[in-house]
Structure 1
């Protein structure tokens, strides 16, 4: 066998996977000590949106009568919201239900005694200070079930940026502590990674009250403050 044939045979014997391998890229070496610091930045804002579910529950001996009475009351509720200058985009039907009411006895089948109709709308109030007075107006026109409020921040972007700045400042301060303890100094930042956090608005109003027609005082809603947090991991180079 000549030399050319020997080389060809040797090449054919090399596995395809080995022949297709790409040379590994050289790993960049860092001259110094790497320190990863995870910090949580936080700021607080006053909620500027209140979301509340307002509903009408009615009962009658027939399903038709229960729904008809309910529809009339709901129309009054919607009219009151429009009179209070609540925008159409902030009013959304949440649930509509019709349930039979039963009378139970021993050793006898349940007997339908009537029907209960329910219609609930989700309402966003962009003027939190006025939301209590609007709720009182809704009760006057027939709303007899109210859940909420769920308070949230309409535009949290600026607050999130403030929290990011706070997170970086905390990470830098912590890195300085580690550097001094190790007899080093912070040279520069190698990378910044944002993890969990950000503003998480409440998912739905919490059922906190069911209101009746009579009331002793005006309903008041105190917005308080909500925290906005951002978590960042910062990689520092110490020398």
Structure 2
């Protein structure tokens, strides 16, 4: 009697466990089937860009005065005197004070090196660098000539830019969106499915000033051929976008 009762009890427990497990498995399978039915519709992930080309309306020139002297104080005094002449030349050229900014000031010892001998101090070198913004492009060449004649002996480069880039960026955005929509419509037509709404849109790019380009100017250039010729060319404002479109089932 005891063994039969234990067997009956174990069978009842297994039957009850099976009864509890079956609905859980069924519920899980039903849930997974529902998730498959609720999956996001197929989509297109596309990119496009818009570009606007326009002439720059400002220029930036970085130049410097490099002087050497036997002592550090003498090198700095000589450099300051020449830089004051350069600043005065900029004022005469019509450059406003707010458009002139010191971008570097350096003083360093200079040594002569001979093989198998200790370095010998030759003197000191002072270097004062200035970045100038020119808002009238017709004055770029004459300004470069003026500062060289006043004492500048180093010109790092020139870059052209825009005083205000917002309108050009907005135009590039419009062109980019039109290109993206046209591409999406083309893909949907080729696939033979209706194009749905746009799910997301991201943007990158925008206006970035052109890196400085080398510019070589000497005092004799101004004397031989008038003002130094400078060509501003064009700038490109580019907006890149990426969009995800739904495709109707």
- The match for 1:212 is 218
Task: Give the TM-score normalised by the residue count of structure 2.
Answer: 0.76
Structure 1: gaps (5+ residues): 1-25
Whole-angstrom distance in 1 between the partners of 2:128 and 2:199? 56
**Of 198, 205, 211, which residue of structure 2 is paired with 1:197?**
205
Q: 1:74 and 1:237, CA in 2 relative to 1: closer, same or farther beyond 3 A? A: same
**Of 180, 186, 189, which residue of structure 2 is paired with 1:177?**
186
- The match for 1:227 is 236
Partner SS for 2:119: strand
Partner SS for 1:59: strand
Partner SS for 1:214: helix
- The match for 1:6 is none
**Bigger shift: 60-69 or 212-221?**
212-221
Q: 1:188: Cα distance to partner? A: 3.4
Q: 1:75 and 1:35, CA in 2 relative to 1: closer, same or farther beyond 3 A? A: same
Name the structure with the higher helix share. 2
**Bigger shift: 161-170 or 62-71?**
62-71
**Of 99, 112, 116, which residue of structure 2 is paired with 1:103?**
112
CA distances 1:7-48 after superposition (whole Å, capped 9, x unpaired): xxxxxxxxxxxxxxxxxxx99x69964323211111112122
Partner SS for 2:229: coil
Aligned residue pairs total 211
Partner SS for 1:154: coil
- The match for 1:131 is 140
- The match for 2:55 is 46
Partner SS for 2:95: coil
RMSD: 2.3
Q: Is the 8 A contact 2:145 2:217 kept in 1?
A: no
**Of 140, 148, 152, which residue of structure 1 is paired with 2:161?**
152
Whole-angstrom distance in 2 between the partners of 1:198 and 1:38? 15
Q: 1:183: Cα distance to partner? A: 1.6
Q: 1:187: Cα distance to partner? A: 4.2
Q: 1:30 and 1:82, CA in 2 relative to 1: closer, same or farther beyond 3 A? A: farther
